[in-house]
Structure 1
Amino acid sequence: MSVRHVLITGGSRGIGLAIARLFAQNSYRCTLISRNEHALKTAISTLPPLDPKHSSIPHKYIVGDVSDPAFWMHSVVGQKLILTSNTTETHAGHGLKERIDVLVNCAGVTENKLFLRIGRDKLQGIVNTNLTGLMMGTQYLLRNGYIKSKKDDDENYSPVVINMTSLLALQGGFGAVVYSASKAGVLGFTRALAVELGRSGVRVNAIVPGYIETDMIADLDVPRLEKRIPLQRIGKPEEIADAVLFLAKNQYAHNCVINIDGGLSAM
Protein backbone atom coordinates (compact mmCIF):
# COMPACT_ATOMS: atom_id res chain seq x y z
CA MET A 1 0.00 0.00 0.00
CA SER A 2 1.42 3.38 -1.02
CA VAL A 3 1.88 6.18 1.50
CA ARG A 4 -0.98 8.68 1.31
CA HIS A 5 -0.12 12.26 0.41
CA VAL A 6 -1.66 15.41 1.91
CA LEU A 7 -1.10 18.90 0.48
CA ILE A 8 -1.78 21.73 2.95
CA THR A 9 -1.85 25.39 1.97
CA GLY A 10 -1.04 27.67 4.88
CA GLY A 11 0.73 24.70 6.44
CA SER A 12 3.61 26.47 8.16
CA ARG A 13 1.80 27.52 11.35
CA GLY A 14 -1.42 27.54 13.33
CA ILE A 15 -4.20 25.23 12.20
CA GLY A 16 -2.34 24.21 9.03
CA LEU A 17 0.71 23.04 10.98
CA ALA A 18 -1.45 21.19 13.51
CA ILE A 19 -3.08 19.36 10.60
CA ALA A 20 0.32 18.47 9.13
CA ARG A 21 1.58 17.09 12.43
CA LEU A 22 -1.48 14.91 12.94
CA PHE A 23 -1.41 13.58 9.39
CA ALA A 24 2.32 12.84 9.65
CA GLN A 25 1.65 10.94 12.88
CA ASN A 26 -0.86 8.88 10.88
CA SER A 27 1.73 8.04 8.19
CA TYR A 28 0.69 10.61 5.59
CA ARG A 29 3.41 12.28 3.54
CA CYS A 30 2.98 16.05 3.82
CA THR A 31 3.61 18.84 1.34
CA LEU A 32 3.25 22.30 2.89
CA ILE A 33 2.70 25.56 1.01
CA SER A 34 3.29 29.02 2.49
CA ARG A 35 4.89 32.35 1.61
CA ASN A 36 7.45 32.20 4.43
CA GLU A 37 10.33 29.84 3.69
CA HIS A 38 11.85 30.10 7.16
CA ALA A 39 8.52 29.15 8.75
CA LEU A 40 8.17 26.25 6.32
CA LYS A 41 11.62 24.91 7.17
CA THR A 42 10.81 25.08 10.85
CA ALA A 43 7.44 23.42 10.32
CA ILE A 44 8.88 20.54 8.29
CA SER A 45 11.53 19.90 10.94
CA THR A 46 8.78 19.30 13.54
CA LEU A 47 6.96 16.60 11.55
CA PRO A 48 7.46 12.95 12.48
CA PRO A 49 9.61 11.39 9.73
CA LEU A 50 8.15 8.73 7.47
CA ASP A 51 9.28 5.14 7.70
CA PRO A 52 11.82 4.76 4.85
CA LYS A 53 10.57 1.19 4.33
CA HIS A 54 7.27 2.58 3.05
CA SER A 55 8.24 5.83 1.31
CA SER A 56 11.40 7.10 -0.33
CA ILE A 57 9.80 10.56 -0.78
CA PRO A 58 10.04 12.79 2.30
CA HIS A 59 7.82 15.54 3.65
CA LYS A 60 8.51 18.72 1.70
CA TYR A 61 7.49 22.31 1.19
CA ILE A 62 6.81 24.74 -1.64
CA VAL A 63 7.23 28.50 -1.17
CA GLY A 64 4.65 30.73 -2.79
CA ASP A 65 1.59 32.94 -2.64
CA VAL A 66 -1.57 30.92 -3.30
CA SER A 67 -3.42 34.09 -4.32
CA ASP A 68 -1.07 34.62 -7.27
CA PRO A 69 -2.24 32.86 -10.49
CA ALA A 70 1.38 32.54 -11.62
CA PHE A 71 2.15 30.41 -8.57
CA TRP A 72 -0.29 27.73 -9.64
CA MET A 73 0.69 27.89 -13.31
CA HIS A 74 4.45 27.77 -12.80
CA SER A 75 5.82 27.50 -9.28
CA VAL A 76 4.02 24.38 -8.11
CA VAL A 77 5.76 22.18 -10.66
CA GLY A 78 8.85 24.31 -11.17
CA GLN A 79 10.38 24.67 -7.71
CA LYS A 80 13.28 22.40 -6.83
CA LEU A 81 13.92 23.21 -3.19
CA ILE A 82 12.86 20.34 -0.96
CA LEU A 83 13.43 20.00 2.75
CA THR A 84 13.27 16.45 4.03
CA SER A 85 12.06 15.37 7.42
CA ASN A 86 15.64 14.91 8.63
CA THR A 87 16.41 18.56 7.69
CA THR A 88 18.81 17.82 4.82
CA GLU A 89 18.29 19.76 1.61
CA THR A 90 18.38 18.40 -1.91
CA HIS A 91 17.89 19.84 -5.38
CA ALA A 92 17.17 16.49 -7.01
CA GLY A 93 13.44 16.89 -7.61
CA HIS A 94 10.70 19.32 -8.57
CA GLY A 95 8.11 20.94 -6.36
CA LEU A 96 5.09 18.71 -6.88
CA LYS A 97 4.63 15.67 -9.06
CA GLU A 98 2.93 13.06 -6.89
CA ARG A 99 -0.74 12.18 -6.67
CA ILE A 100 -2.63 13.98 -3.90
CA ASP A 101 -4.95 12.01 -1.63
CA VAL A 102 -6.00 14.96 0.54
CA LEU A 103 -5.99 18.67 -0.32
CA VAL A 104 -6.47 20.94 2.69
CA ASN A 105 -7.12 24.56 1.72
CA CYS A 106 -6.09 26.26 4.94
CA ALA A 107 -4.31 29.44 3.83
CA GLY A 108 -6.13 32.53 5.03
CA VAL A 109 -5.74 36.16 6.07
CA THR A 110 -7.96 38.59 7.94
CA GLU A 111 -8.18 42.27 8.89
CA ASN A 112 -10.03 43.52 11.95
CA LYS A 113 -11.27 46.83 10.55
CA LEU A 114 -14.62 48.48 9.83
CA PHE A 115 -15.78 47.96 6.26
CA LEU A 116 -15.85 51.66 5.39
CA ARG A 117 -12.26 52.05 6.58
CA ILE A 118 -10.66 49.13 4.81
CA GLY A 119 -8.65 50.02 1.69
CA ARG A 120 -9.29 48.60 -1.74
CA ASP A 121 -5.96 46.76 -1.90
CA LYS A 122 -6.46 45.14 1.50
CA LEU A 123 -10.03 44.19 0.58
CA GLN A 124 -8.89 42.55 -2.64
CA GLY A 125 -5.98 40.83 -0.91
CA ILE A 126 -8.27 39.13 1.62
CA VAL A 127 -10.65 37.91 -1.08
CA ASN A 128 -7.78 36.77 -3.31
CA THR A 129 -6.17 34.67 -0.58
CA ASN A 130 -9.24 33.30 1.16
CA LEU A 131 -11.45 32.59 -1.85
CA THR A 132 -10.01 33.24 -5.31
CA GLY A 133 -6.66 31.59 -4.58
CA LEU A 134 -8.41 28.61 -2.99
CA MET A 135 -10.53 28.12 -6.11
CA MET A 136 -7.61 28.62 -8.50
CA GLY A 137 -5.45 26.12 -6.64
CA THR A 138 -8.17 23.48 -6.43
CA GLN A 139 -8.97 23.91 -10.11
CA TYR A 140 -5.30 23.66 -11.10
CA LEU A 141 -4.74 20.46 -9.11
CA LEU A 142 -7.89 18.84 -10.50
CA ARG A 143 -7.25 19.88 -14.10
CA ASN A 144 -3.66 18.65 -14.08
CA GLY A 145 -4.36 15.27 -12.56
CA TYR A 146 -2.85 15.71 -9.13
CA ILE A 147 -6.26 14.88 -7.69
CA LYS A 148 -7.57 11.97 -9.75
CA SER A 149 -10.98 10.39 -10.06
CA LYS A 150 -11.41 7.39 -7.79
CA LYS A 151 -10.73 4.08 -9.53
CA ASP A 152 -12.60 0.90 -8.65
CA ASP A 153 -9.36 -1.08 -8.54
CA ASP A 154 -7.85 1.14 -5.82
CA GLU A 155 -10.14 0.99 -2.81
CA ASN A 156 -7.59 2.81 -0.65
CA TYR A 157 -7.75 5.95 -2.80
CA SER A 158 -10.59 8.23 -1.75
CA PRO A 159 -9.49 11.70 -2.89
CA VAL A 160 -10.86 14.59 -0.86
CA VAL A 161 -10.75 18.39 -0.85
CA ILE A 162 -11.19 19.92 2.61
CA ASN A 163 -11.77 23.67 2.79
CA MET A 164 -11.21 25.75 5.91
CA THR A 165 -13.89 28.37 6.36
CA SER A 166 -15.02 30.20 9.52
CA LEU A 167 -17.91 30.70 11.93
CA LEU A 168 -17.92 34.28 10.66
CA ALA A 169 -19.16 32.87 7.34
CA LEU A 170 -22.39 32.02 9.16
CA GLN A 171 -22.57 34.86 11.66
CA GLY A 172 -21.72 38.47 10.99
CA GLY A 173 -18.73 39.88 12.82
CA PHE A 174 -18.01 43.49 13.76
CA GLY A 175 -14.94 44.58 11.81
CA ALA A 176 -14.89 41.38 9.74
CA VAL A 177 -17.12 42.15 6.76
CA VAL A 178 -14.63 41.25 4.02
CA TYR A 179 -13.29 38.21 5.87
CA SER A 180 -16.85 36.98 6.49
CA ALA A 181 -17.79 37.46 2.85
CA SER A 182 -14.73 35.56 1.61
CA LYS A 183 -15.33 32.66 3.99
CA ALA A 184 -19.02 32.51 3.09
CA GLY A 185 -17.86 32.16 -0.50
CA VAL A 186 -15.77 29.14 0.52
CA LEU A 187 -18.92 27.46 1.85
CA GLY A 188 -20.75 28.09 -1.42
CA PHE A 189 -17.76 26.79 -3.37
CA THR A 190 -17.65 23.64 -1.23
CA ARG A 191 -21.31 22.77 -1.73
CA ALA A 192 -21.36 23.45 -5.47
CA LEU A 193 -18.10 21.59 -6.11
CA ALA A 194 -19.39 18.62 -4.13
CA VAL A 195 -22.28 18.35 -6.61
CA GLU A 196 -19.98 18.58 -9.64
CA LEU A 197 -17.35 16.12 -8.44
CA GLY A 198 -19.48 13.54 -6.64
CA ARG A 199 -19.73 11.07 -9.52
CA SER A 200 -15.97 11.17 -10.05
CA GLY A 201 -15.44 9.96 -6.49
CA VAL A 202 -13.63 13.14 -5.43
CA ARG A 203 -15.11 14.19 -2.10
CA VAL A 204 -15.44 17.84 -1.01
CA ASN A 205 -15.97 18.95 2.59
CA ALA A 206 -15.51 21.97 4.85
CA ILE A 207 -14.56 22.76 8.43
CA VAL A 208 -16.13 25.77 10.18
CA PRO A 209 -13.88 26.71 13.11
CA GLY A 210 -14.91 29.14 15.79
CA TYR A 211 -12.28 31.08 17.73
CA ILE A 212 -9.05 29.07 17.79
CA GLU A 213 -5.68 29.71 19.47
CA THR A 214 -3.85 31.18 16.46
CA ASP A 215 -2.33 34.51 15.42
CA MET A 216 -5.71 35.54 14.03
CA ILE A 217 -7.16 36.17 17.50
CA ALA A 218 -4.08 37.96 18.86
CA ASP A 219 -5.79 41.37 18.77
CA LEU A 220 -9.12 40.19 20.20
CA ASP A 221 -10.40 40.37 23.77
CA VAL A 222 -10.08 36.65 24.52
CA PRO A 223 -11.54 36.67 28.08
CA ARG A 224 -14.62 38.46 26.74
CA LEU A 225 -14.92 35.99 23.87
CA GLU A 226 -14.68 33.00 26.20
CA LYS A 227 -17.68 34.24 28.18
CA ARG A 228 -19.76 34.10 24.98
CA ILE A 229 -18.74 30.54 24.11
CA PRO A 230 -20.90 27.82 25.74
CA LEU A 231 -17.80 25.73 26.53
CA GLN A 232 -16.21 28.85 28.03
CA ARG A 233 -12.89 28.51 26.20
CA ILE A 234 -11.07 29.10 22.92
CA GLY A 235 -10.45 26.06 20.75
CA LYS A 236 -7.07 24.48 19.99
CA PRO A 237 -5.62 23.93 16.50
CA GLU A 238 -5.27 20.23 17.28
CA GLU A 239 -9.05 19.99 17.73
CA ILE A 240 -9.55 21.28 14.21
CA ALA A 241 -6.93 18.84 12.91
CA ASP A 242 -8.88 15.92 14.42
CA ALA A 243 -11.92 16.85 12.32
CA VAL A 244 -9.84 17.19 9.15
CA LEU A 245 -8.40 13.70 9.63
CA PHE A 246 -11.92 12.33 10.14
CA LEU A 247 -13.09 13.85 6.86
CA ALA A 248 -10.04 12.45 5.10
CA LYS A 249 -10.60 8.92 6.38
CA ASN A 250 -14.39 8.59 6.22
CA GLN A 251 -15.09 7.64 2.62
CA TYR A 252 -18.79 8.49 2.84
CA ALA A 253 -18.09 12.02 4.04
CA HIS A 254 -19.06 14.26 1.11
CA ASN A 255 -20.54 17.76 1.31
CA CYS A 256 -19.98 17.63 5.06
CA VAL A 257 -19.76 20.98 6.84
CA ILE A 258 -18.52 20.50 10.39
CA ASN A 259 -18.78 23.28 12.96
CA ILE A 260 -16.11 23.18 15.66
CA ASP A 261 -16.80 26.26 17.74
CA GLY A 262 -17.45 25.25 21.33
CA GLY A 263 -21.17 25.68 20.73
CA LEU A 264 -20.98 29.34 19.71
CA SER A 265 -23.01 28.75 16.54
CA ALA A 266 -25.97 27.76 18.71
CA MET A 267 -26.14 31.19 20.33
Structure 2
Amino acid sequence: MPTPRHALITGGSRGIGLAIAQLFASQGYRLTLLARNNRNLEDALSTLPTSHLSSSSPHRYIATHAITNDKFWTTSGLDDTFGAQYEFEDAKEKNIDVLVNCAGISQSSSFVRTKGEDIKEIVDINLTAAMLATRFLLSKRYIKGRSFKAAETEEPFSPTIINVASLLGMKGGVGAVAYAASKAGMIGFTRALAAEIGRSGIRVNTIVPGYVSTDMTTDLERSSDLRSSIPMGRFGKPEEIADAALFLARNQYAHNCILNLDGGLSAT
Protein backbone atom coordinates (compact mmCIF):
# COMPACT_ATOMS: atom_id res chain seq x y z
CA MET A 1 0.00 0.00 0.00
CA PRO A 2 1.23 3.55 -0.68
CA THR A 3 2.48 5.57 2.28
CA PRO A 4 -0.25 7.93 3.56
CA ARG A 5 0.43 11.58 2.92
CA HIS A 6 1.34 13.74 5.88
CA ALA A 7 -0.40 17.01 6.81
CA LEU A 8 0.90 19.37 9.49
CA ILE A 9 -1.82 21.71 10.78
CA THR A 10 -1.14 24.61 13.13
CA GLY A 11 -4.12 25.64 15.21
CA GLY A 12 -5.44 22.13 14.62
CA SER A 13 -7.10 21.63 17.99
CA ARG A 14 -10.33 23.54 17.41
CA GLY A 15 -12.45 25.54 14.97
CA ILE A 16 -11.42 25.60 11.33
CA GLY A 17 -8.10 23.86 12.02
CA LEU A 18 -9.82 20.93 13.73
CA ALA A 19 -12.37 20.62 10.92
CA ILE A 20 -9.50 20.44 8.42
CA ALA A 21 -7.79 17.80 10.56
CA GLN A 22 -10.95 15.70 10.77
CA LEU A 23 -11.53 15.82 7.02
CA PHE A 24 -7.92 15.02 6.15
CA ALA A 25 -7.95 12.15 8.66
CA SER A 26 -11.07 10.73 7.00
CA GLN A 27 -9.10 10.74 3.74
CA GLY A 28 -6.28 8.68 5.25
CA TYR A 29 -3.73 11.40 5.91
CA ARG A 30 -1.16 11.15 8.65
CA LEU A 31 -1.51 14.23 10.84
CA THR A 32 0.66 16.39 13.01
CA LEU A 33 -1.36 18.95 14.95
CA LEU A 34 0.18 21.98 16.64
CA ALA A 35 -1.65 23.96 19.29
CA ARG A 36 -0.94 26.07 22.35
CA ASN A 37 -3.02 24.03 24.78
CA ASN A 38 -2.38 20.37 25.57
CA ARG A 39 -5.92 19.65 26.75
CA ASN A 40 -7.43 21.04 23.54
CA LEU A 41 -4.94 19.01 21.54
CA GLU A 42 -5.84 15.78 23.34
CA ASP A 43 -9.55 16.50 22.90
CA ALA A 44 -8.96 17.11 19.19
CA LEU A 45 -7.27 13.71 18.74
CA SER A 46 -10.23 11.98 20.35
CA THR A 47 -12.49 13.29 17.56
CA LEU A 48 -10.44 11.86 14.69
CA PRO A 49 -11.81 8.81 12.89
CA THR A 50 -10.01 5.58 13.71
CA SER A 51 -11.20 3.40 10.85
CA HIS A 52 -7.75 3.55 9.22
CA LEU A 53 -5.84 2.55 12.35
CA SER A 54 -4.43 -0.96 12.62
CA SER A 55 -1.83 -2.79 14.65
CA SER A 56 0.54 -2.58 11.68
CA SER A 57 0.07 1.19 11.37
CA PRO A 58 -0.40 2.59 14.88
CA HIS A 59 0.89 6.07 14.14
CA ARG A 60 -1.52 7.23 11.46
CA TYR A 61 -2.39 10.19 13.68
CA ILE A 62 0.37 12.07 15.47
CA ALA A 63 -0.05 14.88 17.98
CA THR A 64 2.80 16.95 19.28
CA HIS A 65 3.00 18.42 22.71
CA ALA A 66 1.52 21.89 22.74
CA ILE A 67 4.03 24.43 21.47
CA THR A 68 3.95 27.20 24.05
CA ASN A 69 7.45 28.63 23.93
CA ASP A 70 8.72 31.68 22.08
CA LYS A 71 10.54 29.55 19.51
CA PHE A 72 7.27 29.03 17.65
CA TRP A 73 4.59 31.45 18.75
CA THR A 74 6.53 34.73 18.79
CA THR A 75 9.00 36.62 16.65
CA SER A 76 12.03 35.48 18.64
CA GLY A 77 12.58 32.98 15.85
CA LEU A 78 12.94 29.26 15.28
CA ASP A 79 16.00 27.09 15.69
CA ASP A 80 16.90 23.41 15.54
CA THR A 81 15.12 22.66 18.82
CA PHE A 82 11.79 23.19 17.07
CA GLY A 83 12.23 20.08 14.95
CA ALA A 84 13.01 17.97 18.01
CA GLN A 85 9.66 18.87 19.51
CA TYR A 86 7.76 17.07 16.76
CA GLU A 87 8.69 13.67 18.17
CA PHE A 88 8.20 12.01 14.78
CA GLU A 89 8.21 8.24 14.92
CA ASP A 90 10.52 7.83 11.94
CA ALA A 91 12.07 9.66 9.02
CA LYS A 92 8.95 9.21 6.88
CA GLU A 93 7.04 11.61 9.14
CA LYS A 94 9.53 14.37 8.36
CA ASN A 95 8.18 14.57 4.83
CA ILE A 96 5.33 17.06 4.99
CA ASP A 97 3.00 16.97 2.00
CA VAL A 98 0.54 19.60 3.23
CA LEU A 99 1.23 22.45 5.65
CA VAL A 100 -1.85 24.33 6.87
CA ASN A 101 -1.11 27.59 8.69
CA CYS A 102 -4.34 28.04 10.63
CA ALA A 103 -3.27 29.16 14.11
CA GLY A 104 -4.71 32.52 15.04
CA ILE A 105 -6.34 34.73 17.63
CA SER A 106 -9.11 37.27 17.15
CA GLN A 107 -9.56 40.89 18.23
CA SER A 108 -12.47 43.03 19.33
CA SER A 109 -11.31 46.52 20.29
CA SER A 110 -10.90 49.90 18.65
CA PHE A 111 -7.40 50.53 17.34
CA VAL A 112 -6.57 53.42 19.67
CA ARG A 113 -7.64 51.35 22.67
CA THR A 114 -5.62 48.29 21.65
CA LYS A 115 -2.45 47.98 23.71
CA GLY A 116 0.86 47.77 21.92
CA GLU A 117 1.61 44.35 23.40
CA ASP A 118 -1.76 43.08 22.19
CA ILE A 119 -1.05 44.30 18.65
CA LYS A 120 2.29 42.50 18.74
CA GLU A 121 0.71 39.28 20.01
CA ILE A 122 -1.97 39.31 17.29
CA VAL A 123 0.55 39.87 14.51
CA ASP A 124 3.03 37.38 16.01
CA ILE A 125 0.54 34.52 16.25
CA ASN A 126 -1.51 35.24 13.14
CA LEU A 127 1.30 36.09 10.71
CA THR A 128 4.88 36.02 11.95
CA ALA A 129 4.69 32.53 13.46
CA ALA A 130 3.30 31.19 10.18
CA MET A 131 6.12 32.79 8.19
CA LEU A 132 8.84 31.59 10.57
CA ALA A 133 7.47 28.06 10.79
CA THR A 134 7.13 27.85 7.00
CA ARG A 135 10.66 29.18 6.54
CA PHE A 136 12.00 26.64 9.06
CA LEU A 137 10.23 23.70 7.41
CA LEU A 138 11.40 24.74 3.94
CA SER A 139 14.99 25.41 5.00
CA LYS A 140 15.25 22.06 6.80
CA ARG A 141 13.64 20.33 3.82
CA TYR A 142 10.71 18.93 5.75
CA ILE A 143 8.80 20.26 2.73
CA LYS A 144 10.68 19.18 -0.35
CA GLY A 145 10.10 20.63 -3.79
CA ARG A 146 8.96 17.70 -5.86
CA SER A 147 6.26 16.23 -8.03
CA PHE A 148 6.34 12.46 -7.86
CA LYS A 149 4.38 9.24 -7.85
CA ALA A 150 4.37 7.65 -4.41
CA ALA A 151 3.25 4.44 -6.12
CA GLU A 152 2.67 3.36 -9.69
CA THR A 153 -1.08 3.59 -9.19
CA GLU A 154 -0.97 7.18 -7.94
CA GLU A 155 -1.02 10.46 -9.80
CA PRO A 156 1.94 12.86 -9.40
CA PHE A 157 1.64 14.92 -6.22
CA SER A 158 3.34 18.17 -5.29
CA PRO A 159 3.34 19.47 -1.71
CA THR A 160 1.32 22.53 -0.81
CA ILE A 161 1.30 25.28 1.80
CA ILE A 162 -2.21 26.47 2.67
CA ASN A 163 -2.54 29.73 4.60
CA VAL A 164 -5.83 30.58 6.30
CA ALA A 165 -6.46 34.32 6.05
CA SER A 166 -9.74 36.21 6.55
CA LEU A 167 -12.13 38.39 4.60
CA LEU A 168 -11.23 41.18 7.04
CA GLY A 169 -7.77 41.17 5.48
CA MET A 170 -9.37 42.28 2.20
CA LYS A 171 -12.50 44.14 3.25
CA GLY A 172 -11.60 45.60 6.64
CA GLY A 173 -13.83 45.78 9.69
CA VAL A 174 -14.49 47.86 12.77
CA GLY A 175 -12.70 46.78 15.94
CA ALA A 176 -10.22 44.48 14.22
CA VAL A 177 -7.44 46.64 12.79
CA ALA A 178 -4.50 44.53 14.00
CA TYR A 179 -6.31 41.31 13.10
CA ALA A 180 -7.16 42.61 9.62
CA ALA A 181 -3.56 43.72 9.09
CA SER A 182 -2.23 40.30 10.09
CA LYS A 183 -4.62 38.51 7.74
CA ALA A 184 -3.84 40.89 4.88
CA GLY A 185 -0.23 39.98 5.54
CA MET A 186 -1.07 36.29 5.10
CA ILE A 187 -2.43 37.03 1.63
CA GLY A 188 0.69 39.00 0.71
CA PHE A 189 2.85 36.23 2.16
CA THR A 190 1.04 33.71 -0.05
CA ARG A 191 1.45 35.69 -3.26
CA ALA A 192 5.13 36.46 -2.71
CA LEU A 193 6.05 32.94 -1.62
CA ALA A 194 4.11 31.44 -4.52
CA ALA A 195 6.17 33.52 -6.94
CA GLU A 196 9.42 32.65 -5.19
CA ILE A 197 9.14 28.87 -4.77
CA GLY A 198 6.54 27.77 -7.32
CA ARG A 199 9.10 26.52 -9.83
CA SER A 200 10.56 24.21 -7.19
CA GLY A 201 7.33 22.18 -7.27
CA ILE A 202 5.82 23.53 -4.06
CA ARG A 203 2.38 25.10 -4.31
CA VAL A 204 1.20 27.97 -2.09
CA ASN A 205 -2.43 28.99 -1.62
CA THR A 206 -4.72 30.93 0.70
CA ILE A 207 -8.25 30.37 1.94
CA VAL A 208 -10.10 33.60 2.77
CA PRO A 209 -13.05 32.73 5.01
CA GLY A 210 -15.76 35.20 5.87
CA TYR A 211 -17.63 34.79 9.15
CA VAL A 212 -17.52 31.15 10.27
CA SER A 213 -19.29 29.53 13.23
CA THR A 214 -16.56 28.80 15.78
CA ASP A 215 -16.00 29.57 19.44
CA MET A 216 -14.22 32.76 18.31
CA THR A 217 -17.36 34.12 16.64
CA THR A 218 -20.09 33.07 19.09
CA ASP A 219 -20.92 36.63 20.12
CA LEU A 220 -20.84 37.92 16.53
CA GLU A 221 -23.21 35.23 15.32
CA ARG A 222 -25.90 36.51 17.67
CA SER A 223 -26.09 39.72 15.62
CA SER A 224 -29.03 39.50 13.22
CA ASP A 225 -27.74 42.62 11.43
CA LEU A 226 -24.44 40.92 10.68
CA ARG A 227 -26.09 37.72 9.49
CA SER A 228 -28.46 39.65 7.25
CA SER A 229 -25.52 41.49 5.65
CA ILE A 230 -24.26 38.16 4.29
CA PRO A 231 -25.99 37.32 0.99
CA MET A 232 -26.25 33.65 1.98
CA GLY A 233 -27.93 34.74 5.22
CA ARG A 234 -25.74 32.74 7.59
CA PHE A 235 -22.24 32.15 8.90
CA GLY A 236 -20.16 29.49 7.23
CA LYS A 237 -19.41 26.11 8.77
CA PRO A 238 -15.85 24.99 9.63
CA GLU A 239 -16.47 21.89 7.51
CA GLU A 240 -17.09 24.09 4.46
CA ILE A 241 -13.68 25.70 4.91
CA ALA A 242 -12.12 22.27 5.36
CA ASP A 243 -13.55 21.24 1.96
CA ALA A 244 -11.58 24.07 0.39
CA ALA A 245 -8.36 22.95 2.10
CA LEU A 246 -8.76 19.43 0.76
CA PHE A 247 -9.43 20.80 -2.74
CA LEU A 248 -6.25 22.89 -2.62
CA ALA A 249 -4.24 19.88 -1.44
CA ARG A 250 -5.58 17.64 -4.20
CA ASN A 251 -5.69 19.96 -7.21
CA GLN A 252 -2.20 19.93 -8.66
CA TYR A 253 -2.80 23.09 -10.70
CA ALA A 254 -3.90 25.11 -7.66
CA HIS A 255 -1.10 27.58 -7.04
CA ASN A 256 -1.34 31.20 -5.88
CA CYS A 257 -5.10 30.71 -5.35
CA ILE A 258 -6.81 33.27 -3.13
CA LEU A 259 -10.00 31.31 -2.45
CA ASN A 260 -12.89 33.32 -0.99
CA LEU A 261 -15.46 31.47 1.10
CA ASP A 262 -17.57 34.23 2.57
CA GLY A 263 -21.17 33.57 1.59
CA GLY A 264 -20.96 36.43 -0.89
CA LEU A 265 -20.12 39.10 1.68
CA SER A 266 -17.17 40.38 -0.36
CA ALA A 267 -19.59 41.27 -3.17
CA THR A 268 -21.55 43.70 -1.03
- Given the two structures, how large is their TM-score scaled by the length of structure 1? 0.90
- Preserved contact between residue 9 and residue 34 of structure 1 (Cα < 8 Å): yes
C-alpha distance 54-171 of structure 1, shift in aligned 2 (>3 A): farther
Aligned AA for 1:215? D
Give the number of equivalent residue pairs: 257
C-alpha distance 156-2 of structure 1, shift in aligned 2 (>3 A): farther
Q: What is the aligned partner in structure 2 of residue 121 from structure 1?
A: 117
1:52 to 38, 51, 54: 54
C-alpha distance 54-266 of structure 1, shift in aligned 2 (>3 A): farther
Q: What is the aligned partner in structure 1 of residue 146 from structure 2?
A: 150
In structure 2, C-alpha distance between the alignment counterparts of 1:26 and 1:112, rounded to whole Å: 36
Aligned AA for 1:196? E
Q: What is the aligned partner in structure 2 of residue 61 from structure 1?
A: 63
Q: What is the aligned partner in structure 2 of residue 76 from structure 1?
A: 82
Residues 159-178 of structure 1 mapped to structure 2, 5 A cutoff? 159-178=159-178
- Partner-residue secondary structure (3-state), 2:79: helix
C-alpha distance 199-54 of structure 1, shift in aligned 2 (>3 A): farther
In structure 2, C-alpha distance between the alignment counterparts of 1:190 and 1:17, rounded to whole Å: 22
Q: What is the aligned partner in structure 2 of residue 10 from structure 1?
A: 11
- Partner-residue secondary structure (3-state), 1:215: coil
Query: Any unmatched runs of 5+ in structure 2?
Result: none
Q: What is the aligned partner in structure 1 of residue 40 from structure 2?
A: 39
Moved more, 144-153 or 161-170: 144-153
- Given the two structures, how large is their TM-score scaled by the length of structure 2? 0.89
Over the matched positions of the two proteins, sequence identity in percent amounts to 51
In structure 1, C-alpha distance between the alignment counterparts of 2:63 and 2:81, rounded to whole Å: 12
- Partner-residue secondary structure (3-state), 2:171: coil
Q: What is the aligned partner in structure 1 of residue 128 from structure 2?
A: 132
CA deviation map 1:57-112 (0-9, x unaligned):
33122211442357842553223778xxxxxxxxxx48995200000000001210
- Partner-residue secondary structure (3-state), 1:110: coil
Query: Any unmatched runs of 5+ in structure 1?
Result: 83-92
- Partner-residue secondary structure (3-state), 2:103: coil
In structure 1, C-alpha distance between the alignment counterparts of 2:28 and 2:12, rounded to whole Å: 17
- Partner-residue secondary structure (3-state), 2:3: coil
